[in-house]
Amino acid sequence: MIGLYGVSKSFTEGSSTHTVIRDLDLTIREGEIVILFGKSGSGKSTLLNLISGIDLPDAGRVLIRERDITTLTENERTLIRRDNIGFIFQSFNLIPTLTVKENLQLPLELKGMKDSSERIVSILNEVGLPDRASTYPDKLSGGEQQRIAIARALVHDPGIILADEPTGNLDYDTGLVIVDLLDRVVKQKGKTMIMVTHSKDVIGLADRILSLREGKITELKTDSAIG
Ligand code: ADP
Ligand code: MG
């Protein structure tokens, strides 16, 4: 479902070039929940950007559902992303000038799904916030904003969820609520997820635990990662 083959990515600043991803191979099967650990600056967000086609590698191939997205135009990559991927961010990234309902309408409108009300009611129920449709994001707690952000990532029914430190801005207990929600609405629905995190509390969700270090992926055993 997701394949990276010989992928490299460097950034140049001034006269110095910094290689962030180094000849990396990774395949992820449909329905797998993959946890990605790695120090700050190790390239975790860069890797998610390469998988989503927001960023292009300097070398190598990135396959999403058998399609090599590195050979596509930017518009074509946007369509692949729109149809297959939902994002969850550390800082929620809801649009402050739009209500919850309007935030949730955006991915549906992009996909041309006009009759969206039923879908929005249903996803708000799933994330446990059925009565917040007309609320603005700044009236919600951090945990509630993240629940809406999860609803936004899922409302257009993508097969792949990319979550970049989704509990990083939340207190411990709220983080556990979010992990529990991801278990219900992502894992148990059979979706594929790559979650970047520093939290050990998500290990229970994981089918695989990966570590990114010096541009390479190491597959960790669940046992060793807990300790
Ligand atoms: P992580 O998410 O693991 O903290 P990032 O993927 O954000 O790491 O960044 C990895 C490295 O790549 C960092 O050194 C960062 O400064 C650099 N980097 C990321 N994006 C860019 C960019 N657009 N331009 C220049 N350097 C970048
Ligand atoms: Mg990051």
pLDDT digits (tens, 9 = 90+) for 6-17: 999 999 999 999
Query: Which ligand gives the minimal distance to the CA of 89?
Result: 2
Q: Which residue puts its alpha carbon closest to atom 26 of ligand 1? A: 11
**In which band, very low, low, confident or very high, does the pLDDT at 227 lie, cut at 50, 70 and 90?**
very low
Q: Identify the pLDDT of residue 188.
A: 94
Domains of the chain and CATH, by start: 30-56+73-226 (3.40.50.300)
Nearest atom in ligand 1 to 55's CA: 23
Question: Which residues' Cβ are closer than 6 Å to ligand 1?
Answer: 11, 13, 18, 20, 38, 40-46
Q: Whose CA is closest to atom 22 on ligand 1?
A: 11
Residue 68's contacts (CB-CB under 8 Å, 6 or more residues apart) are 61, 62
Q: Is the pLDDT of residue 98 over 90?
A: yes
pLDDT digits (tens, 9 = 90+) for 183-226: 999 999 999 999 999 999 899 999 999 999 999 999 996 554 44
For residue 105, name the pLDDT band (cuts at 50, 70, 90): very high
pLDDT, residue 87, reads: 97
Amino acid 221: pLDDT? 66
- Ligand 2 is a single-atom ion; what residues have CB below 5 A from it? 44-45
- Taking the CA of residue 12 as reference, the ligand 1 atom at the shortest distance is 25
The residue contributing the CA closest to ligand 1 atom 23 is 11
Model pLDDT, residue 222:
57
State in Å: Cα 180 to ligand 2 middle: 22
Q: Does residue 24 or residue 227 have the better pLDDT?
A: 24
Neighbours of 3 (CB within 10 A): 18
Within 8 A by CB and 6+ apart from 22, the residues are: 8, 214, 215, 216
CA end-to-end span of the chain: 31
Residue 41 CA to ligand 2 centre (angstroms) = 7
Atom of ligand 1 at shortest range from CA of 39: 3
What is the per-residue pLDDT for 25?
97
Say how many Å lie between the CA of residue 46 and the centre of ligand 1: 6
Give percent of the chain with pLDDT exceeding 90: 93
pLDDT score of 96:
98
Q: Which pairs from 166-173 meet CB under 8 Å and 24+ separation? A: 166/88, 166/89, 166/90, 166/195, 166/197, 167/197, 167/199, 167/201, 167/202, 168/90, 168/197, 168/198, 169/90, 169/91, 169/92, 169/142, 170/142, 170/143, 170/146, 171/142
